Amino acid sequence: MEGLEKNRILEGNIVSGMLKLAFPLMVLNVINSLYSIVDTFWVGRLGELHVGAVSLISPIMSCGAAFAAGLSAAAMALIAMAIGAGDKERSNVIATHLIKLCIVFGVTIGIACVFCAKPILNWLETPADIYNEAYMYLLGIALDFLFMFILSLFQAIRQSNGDSKTGVKINAIASAINVVLDPLLIFVCNLGVFGAALATTISKLIVTPIALHILMHEEVMTRVDFKKYKLELKILKEIVAVAIPASIGSFLSSFGFVMMNKSIVSYGSIAMSAYGIGNKISGLCYIPLNSLGGALTPYIGQNLGANNEKRARESYVTGMKLSIVTSIIITIVGFISTKYIVLLFVNNASAELLALACEYAYYSLATAIFMGWFNNLNGVFTGSGNTKYTLFLSTFRLWGLRIPMIYAFGAFTTLGPTGIWWSMCLSNLVTCIIGQTMYFVLPWSKQKLSKS
């Protein structure tokens, strides 16, 4: 299997190869999204304010997950390049180091989140009508960090080998368990929003041993061996060099969304709920674009590892063409179906909630083409090991553009929440223009990673 996947990436038709790699990723992203979608669906039955409580916590969870994103970026770059160069032993060493690190980070961040829950909510100035629900959801979801870290890295390791299907199967099992547990814990056990968070944690806990077993008993692709591969400072330095910029970029990006939530919640709990539902809709629509960007990453990494810069650049052009076509379809379908999806989440939604959720979704869908562009640029820079470039783009998009725009619109206009939506659109456009300039000007394709 490894040979077939590797040949598809290093030679042959790029369009068909990229689509074959992107489709399982798309299925995986849909499955991963089901956790929050199912949570929102059932929590919406508790009331529209409960949706706001869950939506307020999501970016906080993403801040902790930034470390998993950094480790996954290191896996995508270092392992893909090792495989492209035909050095399986090196890929095994790197994967083992990454798994050990993710266990340490997952436990540490989960514990820290439990102890910091109330200070975080107080800093966000969480409205009293959603405070208790937000607190309970944050406590429950903090238990999920360790399992989320391991499953995220598992997917990255397999994807670096050209296998995006195994992660889909593992996460499909977890998602199916979550679908069953959600209504059971929320309503039957009367745990409310805490039950929704606990369902997510338990479902991932059940499948994590399966993922670890696969990694530790792999014979063909990259294998994890805790006894054989001890921690080496040299390998740790290589991982840190790639993971830290990606982690910082992901953290700052997620924290930017925390700041957005702080701004949105100032307009009231209904506005927070509307943003949460609208974000679910745009997130669903962006899945194909995210998947194409994810498929591009191993194409860049393996072809650069095989010293085929021309094919790496051809892969980016192909990815852009596919993203443009996909984004046009997404925008049309999204505009038609948004209202009905909002009512699916909250069947008794107030007129205010429905109007605000649809408005946010429409603005998000209008920028789908920029999100595809941004994901492809990230795929190029992550796949080539230049996570410092993705760090810059992610940080500048939110802290250099979006956050200042949000406060400017709030201070000098009467747009209200609409000013936040405009800030998102404009920041995405400007960031893509800057990222494309970096693609043409900076020596991203010359990145070289040492061999063990």
59 is a domain residue: yes
Q: Tell me the pLDDT tens digit for each residue of 91-114.
A: 899 889 999 988 998 999 999 989
Q: How far apart are the first and last CA of the chain?
A: 25
Q: What is the pLDDT, as a whole number, of residue 369?
A: 93
451 is a domain residue: no
The separation between CA 449 and the C-alpha centre of its own chain, rounded to angstroms, equals: 25
Q: What is the pLDDT, as a whole number, of residue 452?
A: 43
pLDDT-based confidence at 6, cuts 50/70/90?
Answer: low
413 is a domain residue: yes
- Half-sphere exposure of residue 226, counting CA atoms within 13 Å on the CB side? 8
Cα(383)–Cα(7) distance, integer angstroms? 17
Q: What's the domain range around 135? A: 2-446
Task: Between 437 and 44, name the one with better pLDDT.
Answer: 437
Whether the pLDDT of residue 1 is over 60: the answer is: no
Task: Between 133 and 62, name the one with better pLDDT.
Answer: 133
Whether the pLDDT of residue 349 is over 80: the answer is: no
127 is a domain residue: yes
Task: Please give the tally of structural domains in the chain.
Answer: 1
Q: What is the pLDDT, as a whole number, of residue 325?
A: 95
Q: What is the pLDDT, as a whole number, of residue 249?
A: 72
pLDDT-based confidence at 440, cuts 50/70/90?
Answer: very high
CA angle 54, 55, 57 (to 5 degrees): 70
349 is a domain residue: yes
Whether the pLDDT of residue 316 is over 90: the answer is: yes
Cα(146)–Cα(223) distance, integer angstroms? 20
Whether the pLDDT of residue 449 is over 60: the answer is: no
Whether the pLDDT of residue 323 is over 80: the answer is: yes
Cα(160)–Cα(163) distance, integer angstroms? 7
Q: What is the pLDDT, as a whole number, of residue 7?
A: 66
Enumerate residues 6+ apart whose C-beta is below 8 A from 140. 193, 194, 195, 196, 197, 198, 200, 201
70 is a domain residue: yes
Whether the pLDDT of residue 176 is over 70: the answer is: yes
452 is a domain residue: no
Cα(144)–Cα(299) distance, integer angstroms? 31
Cα(237)–Cα(234) distance, integer angstroms? 5
Place of tokens 């021309």: 310
Average pLDDT score over residue span 18-24: 86
Task: Between 90 and 206, name the one with better pLDDT.
Answer: 206
385 is a domain residue: yes
Q: Which amino acid is at 162?
A: G
Mean pLDDT score across all residues of the chain: 85
Q: What is the pLDDT, as a whole number, of residue 447?
A: 53
Whether the pLDDT of residue 270 is over 90: the answer is: no
